[in-house]
Chains A and B, each alone.
Chain A
Amino acid sequence: MVTAEHVSERRLSIPNNPITGVLLAIPAYFAGLWLGTLFGLNDDANTGVILGYTFATAAFLIGVGFLNYPLERLFGWRVSPISDPEENRGIGRFFRLSLDHKVIGMQYLVTILIMLLFGGIGAMLIRSSLLSPDSSITPPGQYIMLIGLHSVMMIFITSAVIVGPFGNYLVPLMIGARRMAFPRLEALSFWLVPPAAVILAAAAFWGGFPTGWTGYPPLSEQAGQGMDSYIVGFALIGLALIVSGINMLATIITLRAPGMTWTRLPIFVWGIFTTSILGMLAAPVLAVALVQLAMDRTVQTSFFLSANGGSNYLWQNLFWFFGHPEVYIFILPAFGIIMEIVPHFARKPLWGYRTGVVGLFGVALLSWFVWQHHLFVSGIAPVLRPFYMLSTELISIPTGIIFLVTLGTLWRARVWFTVPMLFCMGFLFNFLIGGISGVYLSDVPTDVTLHGSYFSMAHFHYTIMGGEIFALMAACYYWLPKMTGKMLSATIGRVHFWWMFIAFNSTFFPLFIAGILNMPRRVSSYDPALQGLNTWVTISAYFLFGSMILFAGNVIYSLFFSARPALANPWHARSLEWQLPTPVPAYNFERVPMIVGGPYDYGVPNARPVADLGGLVGVTGGG
């Protein structure tokens, strides 16, 4: 008979942390490399490198501790206390596998901001080499490597930068849940990101990859071993998207507190909900395409090689069938943030809440029907062009709804211009330009000139950087007081906003002109007539980078030096997450709250507080 003492003796004694993970990953990489070189069909090391990265990732996850729970269950060992946030306090919990959604949110935030620094340095190097029109600063080979690393790194970041930190941290707080539905999947979605980033960076040791983020074959089949980083890294991010999408949907559907009806759901949660649907359904298509590409490169299939009956159009279709929903994976949570923050500072209910939700779903739905607008000049069947032109232009309607809802909320409001509110206004301005320029690209006759030029590059930077990253900044200034217990300096924040807003527009607006004036994307040499314009852009880009440094400085200064403790509800907001004390207790709510009011009922006569929290009420909000 097995006694309790016997059980407790048999515990996994390896310390589980990222260091163990790395120590296991290194031999696993070489084992994969060896195996692939032994049995690979090619003379080059592709098979080995792909196997090496895959083995290393698996070993890293085991080292971090993902195998413990299954093993403990399988052999009847005592389950380690990692699953319990109350037993797992202290600063060390941020550096280990944790199943607490608040810890995972912080892990995500810090990891992604560090990645953002590297992506930004890549952008600065690209801009620096464009100071000269003739590849004299950076040789073309290195330039093309920088393009690849910057673009894919930024895609990794922007896929997760809102859902990862803020989705994981805030969704349970906003819906009145004590945890996420699948905490282990949630942790997995985070722990896949650092290996993906490291594997991507490893491409530099193989000379990078020449394809940018689109990875078009046959170029990507011609490319060296750096391309394998793209394949494995992107696949890991795709897996993270699937896993996190399933988890978010399950959480939002099943774990809402009593009284949290679908029409009382904060709009940010709707943003996460729609983006999770897209992530869960789009990423498998990417995974299929990546597996095919990996097989073409290793075991000599020819999915994408027309020489042997394949087709490079297959990749273009699969990639963009993923790729276009992917860009809405970036922006839907940003829409959610803007529509969430504006009512709290306008001190008015969200104007047309239901229409806003319909707008989010409209964008999510239409995003599946537009992907061939990336192929207008590729030689697709001409009869398809009008359809994709129409479906693409139709997306302006639900996107316009987002503007309608925010502008309606501002109408006759009493706007309190805090730093998050400034970033929301900046978002609306930038995204307006990004959206309008998108219509130029959707129209086939104008797309013939603008396709693949700096115009499209400026367009998506306006939507992603001017849109998503501005929303990220709004979210940081708005929610970091709740997450860290410290207020970010509003004075530095205002300087940061104006600096970033002006530098951003000064950087990217001229690039529309560069595109219209004959400058293709991803070139290391260009028409010398455009050198003045490019120099202006480069200098503005340095200022833009400086504004991000100022943001980092503000975070570090406010968290560690000025130490202004945040009130539980510094913005006097009504929504549920602000009714909790700061720092948020281990299981958020002592008991599952009863939701009795809407999150945005400012000024509504006889509005009830948002929830009955029992004994745990922080500073009550509302006017």
Chain B
Amino acid sequence: MFRLEGQDRVHAGRLAVIWVILSVIGIVAALQIHYPPYDNSVQGADQSKTMALMTVLAVPIFIGVVLMLVYSAIFFRRRGLELVDGPPMLGNTPVQVAWIGISAVVVLFLAVVGITTLASSSAAQAVGAAGRAIGQSGETGSSTAGGQGPELQVQVVAQQWYFTYRYADYGGVETTHLYLPLNRPVELHVTSLDIIHSFWAYQLGVKADANPGVDNVFHVTPDKLGGFQVRCAELCGIWHGHMADSDGRVVSQSDFDAWIAQQQKDEADIQKALPSYAPYYFPEPLTKGS
């Protein structure tokens, strides 16, 4: 099928050798990088691994094409001032079929890996089984909203221009920072009071749009103690850039219990002014304790 002769063979052989060497170096280098969002949560670790896999696949493709461009610039350039026509090659069916076949295999491999990562329990949770309840009948896609499940229920309430959090299992107490206990699966219910925001807890590998009237469910299981940042990732008006909080914390279960008890005590007065915990609060006008 691929009988290469004469010059074709010389060039192809040379290119193949250089390509293999550079690709191996490139792949080894790509594997040295520890990709964000690192492994502070089960979901983040999955994303980190997927990103490494993609880079490993991308490196040989990138090197192959760039090598070919550089090689053409060196060896396939015109010598002298005379304008000479190249060999009239109109195409080569086996090469074309091989190229399309290989790119199809790479793409399908990536898609299969992506879909299985998505389907495997942890990653399916990472991007959630979104509850879509859009403005009607008070139903929510999540059966566990407000209930006592094995997962900690935390609601993220976005508004211009800050996030607040309500803990359904603790009487719907509302806090200004997000504290999560270590190694406990968390079900995040992301909603908005006004326009679209996006809840991005970078270190945890979570991003979920906050839509008014919608309960968008994402899952995360933090597995490292420490702080994390929360930012808005969807343009939401002039203070979008300032809609951030670096005081998120992953704490041990006992610290969490102490913290949430303190919050319940501190916020007791405000709690009375708040509407009771619900999957979303839009379009109801909301009276918030100042």
- A410 contacts B68, C-beta separation under 8 Å: yes
Cα distance A449–B114 when bound, in Å? Answer: 14
Cα distance A198–B99 when bound, in Å? Answer: 47
Partner of B235, one of A216, A397, A516: A216
- B130 contacts A380, C-beta separation under 8 Å: yes
A170 to B: closest C-beta gap in Å = 23
The answer to whether the Cβ of B150 comes within 8 Å of any Cβ in the partner chain is: no
The answer to whether the Cβ of A448 comes within 8 Å of any Cβ in the partner chain is: yes
- B212 contacts A312, C-beta separation under 8 Å: yes
Stretch at the interface among A177-185, A388-396, A480-488: A388-396
Interface hits, A567-623 → B, CB 8 Å: 572, 601-605, 623
Partner of A445, one of B92, B96, B117, B239: B117
Inter-chain contacts of A381 with B (CB < 8 A)? 130, 132
- A408 contacts B91, C-beta separation under 8 Å: yes
Inter-chain contacts of B11 with A (CB < 8 A)? 411-412
The answer to whether the Cβ of A292 comes within 8 Å of any Cβ in the partner chain is: no
The answer to whether the Cβ of B236 comes within 8 Å of any Cβ in the partner chain is: yes
Inter-chain contacts of A22 with B (CB < 8 A)? none
Cα distance A414–B73 when bound, in Å? Answer: 10
Stretch at the interface among B16-24, B120-128, B251-259, B265-273: B120-128
The answer to whether the Cβ of A79 comes within 8 Å of any Cβ in the partner chain is: no
Known contacts A347-B84, A404-B99, A410-B76: does B66 contact A307 (CB below 8 Å)?
A: no
Stretch at the interface among A114-122, A244-252, A520-528: A520-528
Please encode chain B, from 207 to 235, with 1 for each CB lying within 8 Å of some chain A CB and 0 for all others. 11101111010000000000001011111
The answer to whether the Cβ of A222 comes within 8 Å of any Cβ in the partner chain is: yes
Please encode chain A, from 421 to 461, with 1 for each CB lying within 8 Å of some chain B CB and 0 for all others. 00001001100110010011001111011011100000000
- A393 contacts B111, C-beta separation under 8 Å: yes
The answer to whether the Cβ of A99 comes within 8 Å of any Cβ in the partner chain is: no
Interface hits, A292-321 → B, CB 8 Å: 306-309, 311-313
- B194 contacts A396, C-beta separation under 8 Å: no
Known contacts A219-B237, A400-B99, A415-B77: does B47 contact A452 (CB below 8 Å)?
A: no
The answer to whether the Cβ of B172 comes within 8 Å of any Cβ in the partner chain is: no
Inter-chain contacts of B88 with A (CB < 8 A)? 348-349, 601-605
Closest to A437 in B: B58
- A378 contacts B211, C-beta separation under 8 Å: yes
- B127 contacts A410, C-beta separation under 8 Å: no
Closest to B216 in A: A379
Partner of B241, one of A135, A222, A452: A135
Inter-chain contacts of B136 with A (CB < 8 A)? 309
Partner of B92, one of A210, A217, A408, A605: A408
Known contacts A140-B238, A417-B73, A449-B36: does B51 contact A312 (CB below 8 Å)?
A: no
Most A Cβ at <10 Å: residue of B47, B86, B237, B238: B86
- A414 contacts B195, C-beta separation under 8 Å: no
- B47 contacts A446, C-beta separation under 8 Å: yes
- A394 contacts B107, C-beta separation under 8 Å: yes
Known contacts A390-B115, A518-B231: does B195 contact A218 (CB below 8 Å)?
A: yes
Stretch at the interface among B162-170, B175-183, B197-205: B197-205
Cα distance A381–B206 when bound, in Å? Answer: 17
Please encode chain B, from 72 to 114, with 1 for each CB lying within 8 Å of some chain A CB and 0 for all others. 1100111100011111111110011001100110110011001
Cα distance A599–B231 when bound, in Å? Answer: 54
- B241 contacts A379, C-beta separation under 8 Å: no
Inter-chain contacts of A425 with B (CB < 8 A)? 69, 73
The answer to whether the Cβ of B185 comes within 8 Å of any Cβ in the partner chain is: no
Most B Cβ at <10 Å: residue of A135, A381, A393, A520: A520
Cα distance A382–B198 when bound, in Å? Answer: 17
Inter-chain contacts of B103 with A (CB < 8 A)? 396-397, 400
Cα distance A354–B62 when bound, in Å? Answer: 25
- A446 contacts B235, C-beta separation under 8 Å: no
Known contacts A218-B195, A348-B88: does B205 contact A448 (CB below 8 Å)?
A: yes
- A452 contacts B234, C-beta separation under 8 Å: yes
- B233 contacts A400, C-beta separation under 8 Å: no
B52 to A: closest C-beta gap in Å = 10
Please encode chain A, from 331 to 359, with 1 for each CB lying within 8 Å of some chain B CB and 0 for all others. 00000000000000011110111110000
- A413 contacts B76, C-beta separation under 8 Å: yes
A529 to B: closest C-beta gap in Å = 11
Cα distance A352–B202 when bound, in Å? Answer: 45
Partner of A412, one of B7, B196, B234: B7
A497 to B: closest C-beta gap in Å = 13
- A415 contacts B36, C-beta separation under 8 Å: no
Inter-chain contacts of A135 with B (CB < 8 A)? 241-242
- A306 contacts B135, C-beta separation under 8 Å: yes
The answer to whether the Cβ of A547 comes within 8 Å of any Cβ in the partner chain is: no
- A306 contacts B134, C-beta separation under 8 Å: yes
The answer to whether the Cβ of B118 comes within 8 Å of any Cβ in the partner chain is: yes
Inter-chain contacts of B126 with A (CB < 8 A)? 445, 448
Cα distance A143–B104 when bound, in Å? Answer: 43
Cα distance A616–B7 when bound, in Å? Answer: 41
- A444 contacts B68, C-beta separation under 8 Å: no
A337 to B: closest C-beta gap in Å = 17
- B198 contacts A377, C-beta separation under 8 Å: yes
Inter-chain contacts of A217 with B (CB < 8 A)? 195
Partner of B51, one of A436, A446, A524: A446
Closest to A433 in B: B62
Inter-chain contacts of A443 with B (CB < 8 A)? 50, 54, 110, 114
Interface hits, A261-316 → B, CB 8 Å: 306-309, 311-313
- A401 contacts B100, C-beta separation under 8 Å: yes
Closest to A396 in B: B107
The answer to whether the Cβ of A11 comes within 8 Å of any Cβ in the partner chain is: no
- B211 contacts A516, C-beta separation under 8 Å: no
Which 8 pairs between the two chains have the least Cβ-Cβ distance? A603-B85, A523-B241, A307-B283, A379-B216, A306-B213, A348-B86, A352-B91, A452-B233
12 contacts between A and B (CB under 8 A): A218-B195, A306-B282, A349-B89, A381-B130, A382-B130, A385-B127, A390-B111, A404-B99, A407-B68, A408-B89, A408-B91, A433-B62
